């Protein structure tokens, strides 16, 4: 590839003209590595509640609470992987580490396809997070050291900003694939970046700056000089006042932004779930009949319609299959292959209008036929449980409305009715509460609230489309937020840019999670949320590599960006726990109130900026040169010809 030009000439040109062919190759590989990294995260965030709901099935359990646990596992894996691969990146090399981390996160994303329980799903997300945590620091260090000095900040800002494209790809895949093929196929597609890992491993070279630092460290070790200055030593981050201050500042900045984003900002799908009920058109019609009922008799007739789906299925499999399934066990007994084929044939006959010669089939609504068809395709116990759970959708949706969606003072029963039983006595109490919720006629105030909820409710396909649009708009805002940080950081400085970013994040989270109630609001709230919560991340890729010497750059960057996740992992857990503790105690929904509380983490970042060093227009730092020690790395790296 082309040789670099002299620094004096380079300084007079726009930053992109300073890049030779190999510079562009490094730049593009770093973009793709981080882009697919964020694509994986977006797939998880978009499908999290759907996947966990399916994995829970009829076993019970709070979807939001389990979702926060899995998210915390993912963040903890991110933090542990950041520590492990961060040190490895300084010792083994940026390019090799980047390839391995891409392979790790892609591989375990693909394995999520086979998860049978939400706990197993959480383990795969933990292991995926380890790869994600290591990839960022390796890519940022690689770009920081390989790029010409004047182009460094712009390249790092773009690498981080273009991660929003990965989020948009992930949201688009969710929108298209989940509704057609289900959430599992999403994770199978997420394994694709493993191919990029092979390409990175075979074609990327280590930066010359790192090669020289490694040679100097090896020489120092061999000569017994400067033995304390090792490549990739976490302890060395705290040995000297300068690196210690930079480490603590970077860590606090990282905690603030990561806690705000992963503790609240990335729960926008759950915000939609908490704001807009998901009801099929058939379920809405049945609930509307309940609202229109006058008196206990009409109410009981209306709620009896909630049993139509499962009653029709029980009748079908207990009378028309050979061998039949006992009626009292029909909803718990998976079908064998022969029975599934028979059921599929019966549904095909019904769809064809029951041709002459075919025995009459009990009448099934179109909605019930779809649910029965899902059972006919269920070839495992888990898939059967997921399919049969749909038969109780009407009743569960109604119980959720009257026990959770109504104002606390108007609820028919407590939200406890939706929780998982702890023991037999608790199960009996919950069963009694569910019966009470279904059989209790609604008063005028309750009916008004239910009518309003039905009016804005969406069926599953439209809810998926809404979440897809929200996530895409959120990532468009994220791109603009990270670019805004990059512009402010290069024109005014890193410190004022961070103050702006943290304040923007705080406002965006508080405003959105307090105010969102209607579909029409997504067009401005989703971009605002993305702009504010991702703006600080435009600073991490640019600022963290500027805080550490070559021998510690990958370790320090990864430490600041990822160790904060040990603290940030408490964010989703706190969000879920506060929502449970405050459920029904205030007029504002507990989930919203919990989000407003966790968003105060942005104050940490604003305060930390007081001690942050300004690195604008400064070269990458290194240890003071003394003899032939490990710190004897060059102050600046000349452009490398490849």
Give the residue, 53 or 111, on which the prediction is more confident. 111
User: Cα-flanking dihedrals φ and ψ of residue 458, to 5°?
Assistant: -125, 145
Q: What percentage of the chain has pLDDT greater than the value 70?
A: 92
Residue 362: per-residue pLDDT: 60
**Is residue 125 within 8 Å of 43, Cβ to Cβ?**
no
**Is residue 260 within 8 Å of 509, Cβ to Cβ?**
yes
Extract the tokens encoding 569: 């992992």
557 pLDDT above the threshold of 80:
yes
d(C-alpha 75, C-alpha 80), whole Å: 9
User: Per-residue pLDDT averaged across 531-555, rounded?
Assistant: 91
**Nearest by Cα to 636 from 212, 221, 219:** 212
Indicate the pLDDT class of residue 128, thresholds 50, 70 and 90. very high
3 pLDDT above the threshold of 70:
no
Bridge partners (DSSP) listed for residue 278: 458
**Nearest by Cα to 264 from 540, 531, 592:** 592
Bridge partners (DSSP) listed for residue 458: 278
Extract the tokens encoding 310: 């499962």
Indicate the pLDDT class of residue 600, thresholds 50, 70 and 90. very high
d(C-alpha 163, C-alpha 31), whole Å: 7
134 pLDDT above the threshold of 60:
yes
Continuous H helices in 293-380? 295-304, 308-319, 337-351, 366-377
DSSP notation for 497-518: HHHHHHHHHHHHHHHHHHH--S
9 pLDDT above the threshold of 50:
no
639 pLDDT above the threshold of 60:
no
The burial of 14, by beta-carbon neighbours within 10 Å (0-12 exposed, 13-18 middle, 19 or more buried), is given as exposed
N- to C-terminal Cα separation, the chain: 5
User: Cα-flanking dihedrals φ and ψ of residue 338, to 5°?
Assistant: -65, -45
Handedness of CA 90, 96, 99, 101 (dihedral sign): negative
Extract the tokens encoding 328: 């009292």
The burial of 305, by beta-carbon neighbours within 10 Å (0-12 exposed, 13-18 middle, 19 or more buried), is given as middle
- With a CB cutoff of 8 Å and minimum separation 6, the contacts of 2 are 20, 21, 641
User: Cα-flanking dihedrals φ and ψ of residue 278, to 5°?
Assistant: -105, 110
HEC string for 621-635: CCCCCCCCCCCCCCC
Query: How far from chain centre, in Å, is Cα 588?
Result: 25
Indicate the pLDDT class of residue 628, thresholds 50, 70 and 90. very low
Extract the tokens encoding 528: 């605002």
Give all domains of the chain, ordered by start, each with its CATH number: 7-276+459-611 (1.20.1250.20), 281-455 (no CATH)
- C-beta atoms surrounding 422 within 10 Å: 11
Nearest 10 degrees: Cα torsion 154, 156, 162, 163:
-160
Residue 124: per-residue pLDDT: 94
d(C-alpha 594, C-alpha 490), whole Å: 36
User: Per-residue pLDDT averaged across 573-587, rounded?
Assistant: 78
Out of 327-341, 406-420, 608-622, which region has the weakest mean confidence (pLDDT)?
406-420
Out of 111-125, 607-621, 625-639, which region has the weakest mean confidence (pLDDT)?
625-639
d(C-alpha 259, C-alpha 568), whole Å: 5
Q: At what angle do helices 149-161 and 163-173 cross, to 10 degrees?
A: 20
The burial of 509, by beta-carbon neighbours within 10 Å (0-12 exposed, 13-18 middle, 19 or more buried), is given as buried
Handedness of CA 83, 84, 85, 91 (dihedral sign): positive
- For the chain, the maximum distance between any two Cα atoms, rounded to a whole number of angstroms, is 97
User: Per-residue pLDDT averaged across 440-449, rounded?
Assistant: 93
d(C-alpha 477, C-alpha 467), whole Å: 15
Predicted confidence (pLDDT) per residue in 200-243, tens digit? 777 788 888 888 888 877 777 777 665 446 777 888 889 889 99
Predicted confidence (pLDDT) per residue in 55-71, tens digit? 886 555 677 778 878 98
Query: How far from chain centre, in Å, is Cα 559?
Result: 21
User: Per-residue pLDDT averaged across 262-282, rounded?
Assistant: 87
268 pLDDT above the threshold of 70:
yes
363 pLDDT above the threshold of 90:
no
The burial of 235, by beta-carbon neighbours within 10 Å (0-12 exposed, 13-18 middle, 19 or more buried), is given as exposed
Residue 417: per-residue pLDDT: 83
d(C-alpha 414, C-alpha 403), whole Å: 5
Predicted confidence (pLDDT) per residue in 449-496, tens digit? 999 999 999 998 899 889 888 988 998 999 999 999 989 998 999 999
pTM for the complete prediction? 0.74
Unique residue bearing structure tokens 């010497």: 549
- With a CB cutoff of 8 Å and minimum separation 6, the contacts of 612 are 249, 253, 494, 495, 498
- C-beta atoms surrounding 155 within 10 Å: 27
Extract the tokens encoding 171: 């949201």
Q: At what angle do helices 444-456 and 281-292 cross, to 10 degrees?
A: 160
Q: What does the radius of gyration of the chain's CA atoms come to, in whole angstroms? A: 28
d(C-alpha 20, C-alpha 9), whole Å: 14
Residue 477: per-residue pLDDT: 95
- Number of residues written out for the chain: 642
Extract the tokens encoding 412: 């028919």
Extract the tokens encoding 375: 């059972």
| HSE, side-chain direction, 13 A CA sphere, residue 255 | 21
In three-state secondary structure terms, 458 is: strand
DSSP notation for 253-282: HHHHHHHHHHHTGGGHHHHHHHHS-B--HH
């Amino acid at each position: 590839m082309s040789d670099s030009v002299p620094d004096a000439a380079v300084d007079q040109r726009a930053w992109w003209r300073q890049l030779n062919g190999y510079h562009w190759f490094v730049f593009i590989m770093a973009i793709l590595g981080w882009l697919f990294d964020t694509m994986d995260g977006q797939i998880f965030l978009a499908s999290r509640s759907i996947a966990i709901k399916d994995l829970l099935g009829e076993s019970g359990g709070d979807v939001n609470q389990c979702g926060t646990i899995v998210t915390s596992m993912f963040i903890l894996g991110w933090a542990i992987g950041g520590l492990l691969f961060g040190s490895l990146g300084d010792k083994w090399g940026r390019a090799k580490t980047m390839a391995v981390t891409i392979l790790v996160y892609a591989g375990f994303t693909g394995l999520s396809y086979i998860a049978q329980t939400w706990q197993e799903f959480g383990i795969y997300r933990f292991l995926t997070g380890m790869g994600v945590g290591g990839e960022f620091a390796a890519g940022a260090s690689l770009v920081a050291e390989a790029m010409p000095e004047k182009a460094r900040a712009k390249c790092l800002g773009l690498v981080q900003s273009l991660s929003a494209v990965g989020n948009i790809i992930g949201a688009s895949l969710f929108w298209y694939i989940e509704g057609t093929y289900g959430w599992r196929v999403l994770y199978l597609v997420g394994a694709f970046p493993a191919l990029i890992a092979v390409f990175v491993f075979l074609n990327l070279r280590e930066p010359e700056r790192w090669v020289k630092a490694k040679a100097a460290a090896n020489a120092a070790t061999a000569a017994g000089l400067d033995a304390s200055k090792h490549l990739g030593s976490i302890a060395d981050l705290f040995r000297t006042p300068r690196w210690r201050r930079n480490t603590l500042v970077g860590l606090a900045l990282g905690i603030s932004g990561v806690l705000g984003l992963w503790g609240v900002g990335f729960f926008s799908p759950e915000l939609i779930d908490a704001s807009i009920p998901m009801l099929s058109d058939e379920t809405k019609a049945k609930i509307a009949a309940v609202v229109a009922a006058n008196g206990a008799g009409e109410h009981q007739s209306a709620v009896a319609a909630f049993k139509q789906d499962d009653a029709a299925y029980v009748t079908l499999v207990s009378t028309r299959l050979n061998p039949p399934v006992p009626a009292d066990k029909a909803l718990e007994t998976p079908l064998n292959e022969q029975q599934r084929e028979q059921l599929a044939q019966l549904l095909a006959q019904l769809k064809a209008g029951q041709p002459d010669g075919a025995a009459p089939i009990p009448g099934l609504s179109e909605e019930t036929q779809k649910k029965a068809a899902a059972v006919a395709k269920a070839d495992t116990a888990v898939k059967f449980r997921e399919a049969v759970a749909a038969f109780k959708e009407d009743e569960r949706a109604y119980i959720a409305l009257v026990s959770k969606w109504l104002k606390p003072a108007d609820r028919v029963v407590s939200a406890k009715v939706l929780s998982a039983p702890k023991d037999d006595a608790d199960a009996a109490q919950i069963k009694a509460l569910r019966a009470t919720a279904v059989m209790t006629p609604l008063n005028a105030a309750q009916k008004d609230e239910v009518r309003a909820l039905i009016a804005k409710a969406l069926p599953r396909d439209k809810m998926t489309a809404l979440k897809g649009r929200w996530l895409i708009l959120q990532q468009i805002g994220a791109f603009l937020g990270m670019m805004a940080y990059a512009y402010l950081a290069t024109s005014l400085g890193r410190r004022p840019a961070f103050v702006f970013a943290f304040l923007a994040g705080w406002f965006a989270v508080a405003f959105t999670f307090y105010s969102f109630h209607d579909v029409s609001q997504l067009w401005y709230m989703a971009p605002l949320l993305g702009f504010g919560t991702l703006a600080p991340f435009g600073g991490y890729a640019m600022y963290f590599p500027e805080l550490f010497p070559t021998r510690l750059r990958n370790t320090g960057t990864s430490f600041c960006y990822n160790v904060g996740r040990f603290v940030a992992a408490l964010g989703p857990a706190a969000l879920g726990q506060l929502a449970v503790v405050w459920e029904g105690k205030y007029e504002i929904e507990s989930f919203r109130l919990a989000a407003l509380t966790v968003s105060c983490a942005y104050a940490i970042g604003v305060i930390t900026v007081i001690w942050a060093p300004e690195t604008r227009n400064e070269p990458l730092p290194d240890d003071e040169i003394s003899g032939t020690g490990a710190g004897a790395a060059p102050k600046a790296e000349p452009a490398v010809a490849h």
